[in-house]
Amino acid sequence: MTPRMTKLLLGLSAPVLALVAAFAITSLVLLIAGDPVGGVWGEILSVPEGRNIANIVNSASVLYLSGIAVAIGFRMNLFNIGVDGQYRVAAFTAAVVAGEAWLPGYLNTVLAIVCAMAVGALWAGIAGVLRATRGVSEVISTIMLNFIATSLVAFLLRKAAVREEGSNNIGTKEIPEGSRIPSFSFGDGPGQEIYGFVVIAVLVGVLYWFLLGSTRFGFDLRATGRSTTAAVASGISVTKMVVAAMLLSGAVAGLVGMPLLFGESYTYGSTFQSGLGFAGIAIALLGRNHPVGVAIGALLFAFLNEQSNPLQILVGVSPDIVAITQGVIVLTVVVSYELVRRYGVRLEQQSVARALESERAQREEVTA
Amino acid sequence: MTSTVEGSGPTAPTGPVSVRLRGIGKRFPGVIANDDIDIDVHRGTIHAIVGENGAGKSTLMKILYGVQPPDSGTIEIDGEQVRLSSPADAIRHGVGMVFQHFMLADNLTVLENVVLGAEKLHGIGGAARAEIARISAAYGLDIHPDTLVEDLGVGARQRVEILKVLYRGARIVILDEPTAVLVPQEVEELFANLQGLKREGLSVIFISHKLDEVLSVADEITVIRRGTTVRTVSPSEVTARQLAELMVGSELPSPSTETSTVTDQVLLSVRDLTLPVPSGRPLLDAVSFDIHRGEVLGIAGVEGNGQAELVESIMGMRPAATGTVSLDGQDIGGLSVRRRREAGIGYVPEDRHRHGLLLDAPLWENRILGHQTRSPSVKGPLIDKAGARSDTQRIIEQYDVRTPGADVLARALSGGNQQKLIVGREMSGDPVLLIAAHPTRGVDVGAQAAIWDHIKAARREGLAVLLISADLDELIGLSDRIEVILRGRLVGTFDPAHVTPEQLGSAMTGAGDDTEVSA
């Protein structure tokens, strides 16, 4: 087997191991609770219909952006727990800007998205600057900033909001039709429409892959994540990198709410989806911070969410069971990656030793 | 390397042997940490184990404390052969260890700290308190069970650690560099306590590289070098100089230099380099020196006298440093690490795992490290993977790095090959100054010779080299001039052609007759 094949197999075995373990543990929970194990899995693992596929892809695009935002931090050993707050402040800002429609048509859209990224970056940047200058743990500060974001947005929403007709919900002004991002349909059935923003999410993934893998900046970022001390000795300014990584992570976090805002709700209101930032942490872990891995993780989480919806009606089990599955996946993923990593290191050390051994043997034959 | 165990000196202890190590060996991938170690520790004695950092002392102690199993050899405790597979095993056989870094919970009392994990022995109440008081009185430790640990000084905390192992029934107490954290008065107190332990018939194993202390407190001294026991001596029959010589080894193949290539063009000029500490003695105190083109300046000194700080200040990693540093006539004092590297400084760091490598990155990415702004690893803002790979291949061939390829993770290589890769990397990009801190520490003999050759070649090509080393033969053999550093100051200049390791050794400890500094 070539080394590349071994690497690929090892890379794949970790998530597969984790998923199998997670499904086994979930089944155990179902068994203990006396729920129909077969029925639940039968429903969840059934082939989704067109409408469901659209939902899965749409919700995956949102989760993907969140996962990438977290992954940028993870690559540098920064735990940006604050994606949740960052995307909410950003989505609110974008909704206000787009709702006011200072610019015509798509210029308005672009301006709103840029504002969202800037605000997200700024919000995350607070934690970055605190970490870089005062050594404040970004875990603590981003969690705090989440609370502040929630309260701040709730407060500002009251100021900026218009009441929707015939509803108790309040929200920002609706985005004018010319500035919305159109969905595209892939079938004739009802609801088979995919957000246009999915394209942008894919683009973000490609950019992330390029930036991290092929640029000097990305190299510095990954080097700092692997060893701060070696990074310093090689001439990287770690404080600058901390701020830069947080800004970047926050900017992507700012995009998280955009597919929903420009493709579905057209307004930021009290019912805007929450908790997307935390799902991003799980997805980044599951996807090993790899652009494709995170995409698969996002699709998997979206798939589980969508497929669990009818569980209550069809088999009488709460759809929250997939929350257990998702939670367990995060744990098993961490464990199985570590196991596979250790195994891989041992394998590589052995192969290096073997290669050197045979080289030595050859030399000895020559001299003999 | 052969090892001789001398147990028949005129003052050698003759009591029963409480710990007997025979032929202990331990190998890590690519590194031999311990090889054929033989030690006898007699009951009721203080037995010191000395050796340079990286000589294998810690590995040996981990084996004796059951943290790691040896690959070969036997351990006998009180005449009975034992297998120690965990610290719990070791404690059961009466072996206790006091680590250099204390393992105490500050917000708990002495009593609580001591009984933690040993609740079964005397409970957690009155009986335990009485036992602590008894031990404290018996060995003169002066510890009160109900004091909060956070209220104790460093010396008292160390006594609590000692009490902890005695409470667990240790008859053999291992102390790992116990004086490293103490001020001189506390050292005196510690030594008095150790005499107390000895009087009660306990055996103390004392690990250190401070030779004066070892000579004053130990009954027997075993010297370890490059993983094996060199000799066991009685303190009455050796001087600090002789011990130092045993530690660094003067019979190793000498890395002699060829004819001088020193020019009169100053490449690195350091003036009044000072690294202040908010409270206390500066880590570097007005250090000034020049290195010329084609010159190797060696810095000799006992570990921890400012060598690391000197290197890091020249590299720009210590922003607090004052004074001027100029490279080839250009003041680089205000430049960042990256700018200094770009100006032509190559840097072989002291700790290659912490500062020199990304262990979990492939070799070609490690080739880029420190050269992120220079070809062939980058093109503008982009990483040039093909360029980095092919240049890594060049280093692998030129510097004889034993690896199947450039895509292997740095972690998979042995220490010597990692170091050859670093040397090769730092020599790329046409440096004018090479800073090499302990370039051959922890590498095998073959790699050592290769690295010496590369440094000599660099010198011939007109590089200025700043060489920091604990290996005096290496310093004498490679340097054109040797400066001795002691407590952050340069205290003497020596000509390697005429100096002996003994003279250097005494200047390093500040104990010599030929320097103006006294201890």
Band (pLDDT 50/70/90 cuts) for residue B464 is: very high
Tokens for B76, please give them.
């006998």
Band (pLDDT 50/70/90 cuts) for residue A144 is: very high
Contacts of A356 in chain B (CB under 8 A): 402
CA nearest neighbour of B288 among B268, B305, B267: B268
Any B CB within 8 A of A8 CB = no
Summarize pLDDT for B122-165 with one digit per residue, the tens: 888 888 999 999 998 888 888 888 888 888 877 888 889 999 99
Name the minimum distance, in Å, from the CA of A116 to any CA of chain B. Answer: 27
Rounded Cα gap, residues A197 and B215, in angstroms: 75
Number of Cβ within 10 Å of residue A295's Cβ equals 21
Fill in the amino acid letter for B467. L
> CB–CB of B382 and A214 under 8 A?
yes
Sign of the torsion formed by the C-alpha atoms of B14, B15, B19 and B20: positive
Summarize pLDDT for B202-260 with one digit per residue, the tens: 999 988 877 778 888 899 999 888 778 888 888 888 887 778 778 766 544 455 656 77
> CB–CB of B336 and A235 under 8 A?
yes
**Nearest residue, CB atoms, A235 vs list B359, B370, B409:** B370
Q: What contacts B10, CB < 8 A, 6 or more positions away?
A: B234, B236, B237
Rounded Cα gap, residues A364 and B404, in angstroms: 18
**Side-chain-side CA neighbours of residue A208 (13 Å):** 32
Rounded Cα gap, residues B455 and B477, in angstroms: 11
For A228, the 3-state DSSP assignment is helix
CA dihedral A298, A304, A306, A308 (to 10 degrees): -160
Residue bearing the bigger pLDDT, A148 or B69: A148
> CB–CB of A227 and B358 under 8 A?
yes
For position B7, what pLDDT does the model report? 40
Q: Report if residue A300 sits inside a domain.
A: no
Distance of CA B27 to the CA centre of its chain: 19
Any B CB within 8 A of A218 CB = yes
CA B448, B257, B295 angle in degrees (round to 5)? 100
Q: Report if residue A230 sits inside a domain.
A: yes
Enumerate the domain spans of chain B. Answer: 17-248, 250-344+430-519, 357-424
Those residues of chain B whose CB sits closer than 8 Å to some CB in chain A are 29-30, 315, 317, 336-341, 347, 349, 351, 354-361, 365, 368-370, 372-373, 378, 381-383, 385, 402-404, 407-409, 411-413
For position A15, what pLDDT does the model report? 82
Band (pLDDT 50/70/90 cuts) for residue A360 is: low
Locate the DSSP E strands across A63-192: 162-163, 170-171, 184-185
For A181, the 3-state DSSP assignment is coil
Which of A212, A227, A342, A360 to mutate to test binding with chain B, by most B CBs within 10 Å of its CB?
Answer: A227
* Contact by Cβ (8 Å): A156, A79: no
Residue B31 has pLDDT above 60, yes or no: no
Summarize pLDDT for B40-70 with one digit per residue, the tens: 999 989 999 988 766 778 788 888 898 888 8
Contacts of A217 in chain B (CB under 8 A): 381
Q: CA nearest B400 in A: which residue?
A: A356
Summarize pLDDT for A77-113 with one digit per residue, the tens: 999 999 999 999 999 999 999 988 888 889 999 999 9
**Side-chain-side CA neighbours of residue B195 (13 Å):** 8
Rounded Cα gap, residues B370 and B357, in angstroms: 10
**Nearest residue, CB atoms, A230 vs list B338, B358, B411:** B358
Mean per-residue pLDDT for A309-329?
85
Q: Which CATH class is domain B250-344+430-519?
A: alpha beta
Residue B12 has pLDDT above 60, yes or no: no
For B20, the 3-state DSSP assignment is strand
Rounded Cα gap, residues B490 and B505, in angstroms: 14
Residue A352 gets which letter from DSSP? H
Band (pLDDT 50/70/90 cuts) for residue B87 is: confident
Q: CA nearest B341 in A: which residue?
A: A235
Residue A182 has pLDDT above 50, yes or no: yes
Q: Which CATH number fits domain B17-248: 3.20.20.390, 3.40.50.300, 3.30.1330.20, 1.10.1740.10?
A: 3.40.50.300
Tell me the count of A-B CB pairs closer than 8 A.
96
**Side-chain-side CA neighbours of residue A21 (13 Å):** 17
For position A221, what pLDDT does the model report? 94
Summarize pLDDT for B314-341 with one digit per residue, the tens: 999 988 889 999 998 899 988 999 999 9
Q: Report if residue A61 sits inside a domain.
A: yes
* Cα Rg of chain A (Å, integer): 23
For position A286, what pLDDT does the model report? 86
Contacts of B368 in chain A (CB under 8 A): 219
> CB–CB of A234 and B340 under 8 A?
no
Contacts of A355 in chain B (CB under 8 A): 403-404
Q: Report if residue A337 sits inside a domain.
A: no
Give Cα separations from B251 to A204, A338, B1, B446, B473 (angstroms): 62, 46, 11, 16, 9
Tokens for A361, please give them.
């043997």
Structure ipTM:
0.83
Q: CA nearest A355 in B: which residue?
A: B404
Name the minimum distance, in Å, from the CA of B513 to any CA of chain A. Answer: 39
* Contact by Cβ (8 Å): A272, A58: no
> CB–CB of B365 and A353 under 8 A?
no
Band (pLDDT 50/70/90 cuts) for residue B516 is: very low
Name the minimum distance, in Å, from the CA of A356 to any CA of chain B. Answer: 7
Any B CB within 8 A of A226 CB = yes
**Helices of type H across B316-444:** 337-342, 363-368, 385-398, 415-427
Contacts of B349 in chain A (CB under 8 A): 233
For position B407, what pLDDT does the model report? 87
For position A212, what pLDDT does the model report? 92
Band (pLDDT 50/70/90 cuts) for residue B32 is: low
Summarize pLDDT for A294-310 with one digit per residue, the tens: 999 999 999 999 988 88
> CB–CB of A223 and B355 under 8 A?
no
For position A163, what pLDDT does the model report? 66
> CB–CB of A229 and B407 under 8 A?
no
Tokens for A203, please give them.
């683009």
Q: CA nearest A346 in B: which residue?
A: B412
Residue B416 has pLDDT above 50, yes or no: yes
For position B466, what pLDDT does the model report? 95
Distance of CA A362 to the CA centre of its chain: 51
Tokens for A133, please give them.
């200058």
Q: Which residues pair with A287 in a beta bridge?
A: none
* Contact by Cβ (8 Å): A221, A241: yes
How many domains, in total, are found in chain A?
1
Name the minimum distance, in Å, from the CA of A255 to any CA of chain B. Answer: 25
Tokens for B73, please give them.
């050899």
> CB–CB of B413 and A352 under 8 A?
yes
**Percent of chain A clearing pLDDT 90 (strictly above):** 49
Contacts of B365 in chain A (CB under 8 A): 219, 223
Fill in the amino acid letter for A283. I
Q: CA nearest B382 in A: which residue?
A: A215
Give Cα separations from A50 to A186, A193, A194, A260, B470 (angstroms): 9, 9, 11, 19, 72
Q: CA nearest B339 in A: which residue?
A: A235
> CB–CB of B29 and A349 under 8 A?
yes
Band (pLDDT 50/70/90 cuts) for residue B311 is: very high
Q: CA nearest A224 in B: which residue?
A: B358
For position B176, what pLDDT does the model report? 86
* Contact by Cβ (8 Å): B41, B172: yes
Fill in the amino acid letter for B487. R
Give Cα separations from B436 to A257, A343, B488 (angstroms): 52, 34, 18
Q: Which residues pair with B290 in a beta bridge?
A: B269
Tokens for B443, please give them.
């590498």
Contacts of A209 in chain B (CB under 8 A): none
> CB–CB of A235 and B358 under 8 A?
no
Which of B336, B382, B407, B428 to mutate to test binding with chain A, by most A CBs within 10 Å of its CB?
Answer: B382
Tokens for A281, please give them.
């942490």
Contacts of B336 in chain A (CB under 8 A): 235, 237
Q: Report if residue A192 sits inside a domain.
A: yes
If you search the block for the tokens 């979206």, which residue do you land on?
A302
Most confident residue range from A250-254, B8-12, B483-487:
A250-254
For position B409, what pLDDT does the model report? 87
Residue bearing the bigger pLDDT, A288 or B248: A288
Mean per-residue pLDDT for B465-476?
86
Contacts of A227 in chain B (CB under 8 A): 354, 357-359
Residue bearing the bigger pLDDT, A24 or B27: A24
Residue B289 has pLDDT above 80, yes or no: yes
Any B CB within 8 A of A214 CB = yes
Rounded Cα gap, residues A88 and A160, in angstroms: 15
For position A239, what pLDDT does the model report? 92
Q: CA nearest A358 in B: which residue?
A: B404
Band (pLDDT 50/70/90 cuts) for residue B474 is: confident
Contacts of B410 in chain A (CB under 8 A): none
Number of Cβ within 10 Å of residue A4's Cβ equals 9
Any B CB within 8 A of A361 CB = no
Rounded Cα gap, residues B479 and B496, in angstroms: 7
For A17, the 3-state DSSP assignment is helix
Summarize pLDDT for A189-208 with one digit per residue, the tens: 777 888 989 999 999 999 99
Q: Given strand B72-77, what is the order of strands in its sheet?
A: B31-42, B17-28, B72-77, B80-82
Summarize pLDDT for A328-342 with one digit per residue, the tens: 988 898 898 888 888
Sign of the torsion formed by the C-alpha atoms of A44, A50, A52 and A55: positive
> CB–CB of B361 and A3 under 8 A?
no
Name the minimum distance, in Å, from the CA of B270 to any CA of chain A. Answer: 20
Q: Report if residue A208 sits inside a domain.
A: yes
Q: Report if residue A297 sits inside a domain.
A: no
For position A167, what pLDDT does the model report? 67
If you search the block for the tokens 């001039």, which residue do you land on?
B481
Q: Which residues pair with B44 in a beta bridge?
A: none
**Nearest residue, CB atoms, A215 vs list B337, B381, B402:** B381
* Contact by Cβ (8 Å): B330, B343: yes
Rounded Cα gap, residues A30 and A24, in angstroms: 10
If you search the block for the tokens 């969690």, which residue do you land on?
A143
Mean per-residue pLDDT for B291-311?
89
For position B6, what pLDDT does the model report? 43
Band (pLDDT 50/70/90 cuts) for residue A274 is: confident
Any B CB within 8 A of A217 CB = yes
Q: CA nearest A235 in B: which residue?
A: B338
Rounded Cα gap, residues A210 and A172, in angstroms: 36
Summarize pLDDT for A165-175 with one digit per residue, the tens: 666 678 888 88
Summarize pLDDT for B495-510 with one digit per residue, the tens: 988 888 778 877 887 7
Contacts of B360 in chain A (CB under 8 A): 226
Contacts of A216 in chain B (CB under 8 A): 372-373, 378, 381-383
CA A354, A360, A365 angle in degrees (round to 5)? 125
* Contact by Cβ (8 Å): A340, A10: yes
**Percent of chain B clearing pLDDT 90 (strictly above):** 26
Contacts of B337 in chain A (CB under 8 A): 232-236
Residue span of the structural domain in which A193 resides: 52-287
> CB–CB of B369 and A230 under 8 A?
yes
Tokens for B94, please give them.
């009466």
Summarize pLDDT for B100-125 with one digit per residue, the tens: 778 888 889 999 999 988 888 888 88
For position B496, what pLDDT does the model report? 87
Band (pLDDT 50/70/90 cuts) for residue A224 is: very high
Contacts of A220 in chain B (CB under 8 A): 372
From its phi and psi, is residue A196 left (phi > 0), alpha (psi between -120 and 50) or beta?
alpha
